[in-house]
Chain A
Amino acid sequence: MSNLINRRRIAEGVYFSNITDSRYKTNLISVCFFSQLDAETVTDMAVVSNLISKSSAEYPEYRALSNKLSRMYSASIYSSVSRMHDLLCVQFSANCLDDIYALSGEKLTDEITDILIGCLTRPVTENGVFTGKYTDLERKTVIDNIKAEINDKHSYSTTQALKTLYEGEPAAVSPNGTIEKAEQITPQSAFDAYKSCLETMRCEIICVGCNDFCATAEKFAKAFGKINRHDLKSCEIKASPLKAKTREVTERMKVNQSKLVLGFKSECDDFRAMDMFRLIYGGTPNSKLFLNVREKLSLCYYCAASYNDLKGSLIAYSGVEFENIEKAREAILDQLETMKRGDFTDEDIDNAVNSLKNDYNAVEDNTSSLARWYFGQIIKNDVITPAEAVQRYTDISRERIIKAARSIKLDTVYVLTGMEEQEA
């Protein structure tokens, strides 16, 4: 792995990277713990991520930490749990204005580093575990988050489709966990999950901003030096196998618009060609899906596709009237056939490359998008800059794209639709 981002080991399984650039006005410190998604432990981790980011031994009340951060010109500490392929990613981040903008000369970056490390390593405890009060509150927050998944019908339908697409694999596990598991969480079980996160999960720290982050690196090295890091958990990602028979799932709910998600698999290892295929097929407002399913057939407001290289999966999704589900499904599959026949122009290929160049070159303008980029690269064990990534797309022939298209097979069809009485 190259060292473009000054990536260095600071403890067992803990790496620190930084990107320093004067264009930024803020400094971002992002700490990410990785392990394989596991239905048994994921809900505990969701609760832990909330518990850790809202208080610490120095700021034992939520309000005290909120007040401190607000005083630091809207500095923030926040956490998230997310899915990256087969991995759970538990992320704790801190963001603050650069010191030069402080009204009274405060050393904001040093201070926010200390606060973040305090949250991570010195949580509020009673009798050696998390407090009952905060565990109860954050368990309820996690349950509310799980319940709220149905509020956004697009992301809900995608999550549901992925459960079937990746059935039996870690990637099928929702990073928010389940209500049943959340209800069983105790201060002890949450604290055990916290200890296991700190001691056994692979950890990547990425800092982006105008600060040089030397002091930040030293502080993290010192903090992790005191932690007994052992038996590091595996972070294996496997391609998803094609089902013997296409699985069809229909879910009914009181909705006005149906959601259709088609899940595909591919064994093609020419990832760049697959990505080019995805762009031409459903990656831009000039794609086959947008121009045909939306613009020509007027069936929907959105119709697009996304590709996961490490899982070898692709999904195409749209929102349509109940009676148009079949029409949309046919149209989406028809467009796939046109790609397999090579019915796209050299201009389509050039356009796809231009779109990639445009997107990749903008990644560095924003601290969080750059951190996200490098987390993704590190997981793939292939760290390159966005500009270097663009270079890998410049000579992909139409034959390679057609070959990639031909490798794609339908695996799952998921439909979220109205109640039967609504359709009558």
Chain B
Amino acid sequence: MEKITNSRIREEYIKVNHKSGATLLLYPMKGYSAAYALFATKYGSVDVTFKTKDDEDFVTVPEGIAHYLEHQLFENEDGNAFTLYAKTGADANAFTSFDKTAYLFKCTREFEENLRILLDFVQTPCFTDESVNKERGIIGQEIRMYEDDPDWRVFFNCFRAMYEKNPVRIDIAGTIDTIAQIDKELLFRCYHTFYNPNNMVLAIAGNFDVDKVIEICDELIKPVEDKQLEVIVPDEPVTVKQRKITEKLSCAVPLFNIGWKFPKMTAKESLRSFIVYNILMDMCLGKTSEFYTRMYEQGLINDTFNVCVELGRGFFTVMASGESQNPDLVLSEIEKELYRFKNEGLDGDSFITVRNKTYGELVSQFGNVASVATKLVDAFVNDLEIYDGIEITANLTLEDVKNALDSFNIENNSLSVIEPAE
């Protein structure tokens, strides 16, 4: 058991390398009514090619299987896990992202019973041909729902344009075709590969008792041999696959998403770059920038304009998104502006403004049980420490941001546009 503290924001939590192989990250928060718990595996939509020490060679499975598993695990012999949570009233859910799958609950009562339900159902796969077939209809409707969502489509199409081989280019839920290939045997195989405690974390924040959690984990998390899991992230060309991708959907104003592709980075490099590029983009294009004011006042962008960094295992991208009648012009204006900064240099005053903003955002997240617990899972998945971001931000210099701009390949981008369907 290890206590991890941060004196700058006077916070602390407990890390346990549990005998089962699982990592426990426990963050009690005084004065809060709710506890928020996630039991998560380092297994997301990009993990389609893998092997363990029991396999002779790498195997590649259909896209969408991590998400399919997430749906299927809720099934149990008596119905589904929601029925069990109904007795305690907990608010339960699950999600799959590019690089993780997490099962969660939020509760203000019967915490221990909820934790038992969570640990039990995630470790008890119960798939039948019938349940797998039934779920295909539900997931099919989930995929259909996202097909009609222009915000979602513009984002994923951008990945499709940037990446050639990395599975990040495929929707998290897969497609109607790929989910048709998923059966009970494949689900069991992926389950036993990725739902090994050595690949998993239990993260809890809020109102709970640490000793009681460890006691329940001792009882319920079953030790499993470490199978030395290896996952392949395909080698990816440094340059984007295509410069522009367009789709037509029911919307009124065209939506755009510009993505800049970066070479893959280690976890430590990723976090530092995440903060540095967030600050850089905010300084150059964010709401406090001269660029934003000019574009907004010209009516070329509106309130929805946003800059961000998206990263995960094997990918790192910087993005600018929004609505515009002329997305091509927005892209060319952004490129011009970034070149201008490259030539004329960055302003120290603007750096302090944006750094303070970033610091404030990071500190605020520690006042919310859901965001603390989710940050703990992210830290585990990326082999990082939860307070690293605050320390990097507090110690960042203008020079760091200048260096990032110097190495920024401004033209290595893809423009994704959703145009209104006629």
A interface with B by C-beta (< 8 Å): 21-26, 50, 61-63, 66-67, 69-75, 97, 101, 103, 133, 137, 140-141, 144-145, 147-148, 150-154, 253-257, 284-286, 290, 294-295, 298-302, 319-321, 347, 350-351, 353-359, 361-362, 364-366
Contact = CB atoms under 8 A, between A and B. Distances in A.
Given A70-B353, A103-B359, A361 B109 contact: yes
Interface string B93-118: 00000000000001111000000000
A25 B108 CA distance: 20
A299 B359 CA distance: 46
A71 B303 contact: no
B361 interface: yes
B137 interface: yes
Nearest to B93: A285
Nearest to A350: B87
Given A23-B31, A25-B367, A140 B302 contact: yes
Given A101-B363, A133-B297, A365-B32, A286 B290 contact: no
Contact of A153 (B148, B206, B303): B148
Given A73-B357, A74-B358, A284-B86, A301 B292 contact: no
Given A97-B363, A137-B299, A362 B106 contact: yes
The 6 closest A-B pairs by CB, nearest first: A354-B89, A73-B360, A74-B360, A23-B31, A147-B252, A298-B137
Contacts of B358: 74
Interface string B203-235: 000100000000000000000000000000000
Given A150-B251, A151-B251, A351 B360 contact: no
B89 A357 contact: yes
B287 A21 contact: no
A295 B74 CA distance: 11
Interface stretch (B119-127, B139-147, B269-277): B139-147
A257 B147 contact: yes
Contacts of A24: 367
A413 B66 CA distance: 37
18 contacts: A24-B367, A50-B303, A62-B293, A66-B288, A67-B353, A72-B356, A72-B360, A74-B364, A153-B250, A256-B144, A256-B148, A284-B82, A298-B138, A299-B137, A301-B141, A321-B144, A351-B86, A362-B34
A24 B29 CA distance: 11
B34 A361 contact: yes
A291 B360 CA distance: 43
Nearest to A147: B252
B363 A355 contact: no
A74 B361 contact: yes
Identify which of B83, B91, B250, B299 gathers the most chain A CB atoms within 10 Å of its CB: B250
Contacts of B378: none
A183 B136 CA distance: 47
A274 to B, nearest CB: 19
Contact of B33 (A145, A153, A347, A364): A364
A70 B368 CA distance: 21
A211 to B, nearest CB: 14
B366 interface: yes
Interface residues of B, number: 74
Contact of A255 (B86, B250, B353, B366): B250
Contacts of B106: 358, 362
Interface in B352-400: 352-354, 356-361, 363-364, 366-369, 394
Nearest to B252: A147
A141 B136 CA distance: 41
A134 B249 CA distance: 31
Contacts of B354: 70
B194 to A, nearest CB: 24
Contacts of A364: 33
B3 interface: no
A319 B32 contact: no
B421 interface: yes
A87 B253 CA distance: 29
Contacts of A147: 252-253
Contact of B109 (A23, A133, A354): A354
Contacts of B357: 69-71, 73-74
B141 A354 contact: no
Contacts of A355: 86, 89, 91
A148 B249 CA distance: 12
B89 A358 contact: yes
A290 to B, nearest CB: 7
Contact of B367 (A26, A144, A354, A359): A26
Interface in B137-163: 137-139, 141-142, 144-145, 147-151
B271 to A, nearest CB: 19
Contacts of A61: 293
A159 to B, nearest CB: 14
Nearest to A256: B147
B239 to A, nearest CB: 31
Given A25-B367, A63-B288, A286 B109 contact: no
B125 to A, nearest CB: 18
A62 B253 CA distance: 24
Contact of B149 (A152, A254, A284, A365): A152
A158 to B, nearest CB: 14
A353 B89 contact: yes
